[in-house]
Amino acid sequence: MDDPASPAHGLRVAEAVYWARYYETADGSYEWNNGVLEEKPLPDYRRIAMYGWFLTLLRSYLEVNPVAKLLHLEMGFRLAMPDKTTIRKPDLFVVRNDNPVPLGETDRSYHGICDLCVESLSDSSREESERDTVVKKREYAVVGVKEYYILDPDGQMAFYRRNEAGAYEPLPADAEGVICSSVLPGFQFRISDLYLMPQQEMMAEDPVYRHFVMLKLQAEMQRAEAAEERMLAERDRAERYAALLRNLGIDVA
C-alpha cells in the first residue's frame, strides 16, 4: 500500500499527506473521507455522455448569465462537519459570484462552500452508489451546499435543494418535468432531456432553453427570417406594380 504506483483506495492517511501526495496524482482521482482515501471510479460511456450534455448546458447558461464560476472533475473543497471532515471533488460544481468566499483565479482547490454540486452516480458497486446518494448527500447538506444534483442514466436521477432546516428536499419539477434552479436564476432543463440529449440547434427553438442556448444562432435565424420577409414583400410589391402597369396597357415584359 505504500507504493505510490498502486491504487490507494482505503488507505488511511493524514489530511496533510492527502493534500501533499494524493490530491493531485496520476495514480487516480482520490477524495479524503475523515482520514481514508476514496478513489473516484471511472464512469461508463453513458455517464460521460450525460455529464457532457449537462456540462455544455451549464456553460451555455453561464455564457449568457455570468453569475457564477463553473468547475469540474479534479478541483475539490473541504467539508468540515461536527462529526468529521472530508475533502470532495464533485463532478461539477458552481460557485456564485456573490459567495462569501470567492474562487481565486489561481486556486487549485476551493476554500469555501460550493453553491451547487453535481455528481454523476457511480455504479461500480453498492458502496460507490451510496457514496453519492447517501454519504455525500448528507455531507453537502450539513455544510450548506444549496443545491445537489445526481445524474444517472439508469434512472436514479435526483435533484435537491437545501431548506431552512438545513436538510435536502426534492426540487419540484413542473407538469412537463422541468427543473428550475434557485441557485442559478433562469437555469432550467427537462429531466427527460438528460436521457434524450437533444442537439443545441433543436434546443434553440425550445421555450425551455431558448433564452440561453445558442443565442447567436437564434439572432442569425431571426435576421435570415427578416431578410426573407423583406424579399417576399419586395416581390409582392413588384408584382402588384407590374399588374397595375399592365392594366394601364403598359408592356412590362
Q: Please list the pLDDT of the chain residue by residue as tens digits (253 residues).
A: 344 445 788 999 999 999 999 999 877 899 999 999 999 988 899 999 999 999 999 999 999 999 999 998 789 999 999 999 999 999 999 999 999 999 999 999 999 999 999 999 987 788 889 999 999 999 999 999 999 999 999 988 999 999 999 999 999 999 999 999 999 999 999 999 999 999 988 898 899 999 999 876 655 665 666 556 667 767 777 677 777 777 877 776 6
Q: What mean pLDDT value characterizes the chain?
A: 89
Query: Cα-atom radius of gyration of the chain, to the nearest Å?
Result: 26
Grid cell listed for 129 = 452508489
Chain centroid to CA 229: how far?
A: 38
Architecture of domain 41-197: Alpha-Beta Complex (3.90)
Q: Return the pLDDT at 224.
A: 62
pLDDT at 73: 73
Locate the domains of the chain by residue range: 1-39, 41-197, 214-253
C-alpha angle 201/229/234, rounded to 5°? 155
The whole-number pLDDT of residue 253 equals 62
- Give residue 32's pLDDT: 97
The C-alpha cell 476554500 sits at 111
6 grid coordinates:
498502486
Per residue, the 3-state secondary structure of 97-138, as one string, reads CCCCCCCCCCCCCECCCCCEEEEECCCCCHHHHHHHHHHHHH
Q: Which three cell numbers stand for residue 157?
A: 436521477
Predicted local confidence at residue 38, as pLDDT: 95
Q: Are the C-beta atoms of 161 and 171 separated by less than 8 Å? A: yes
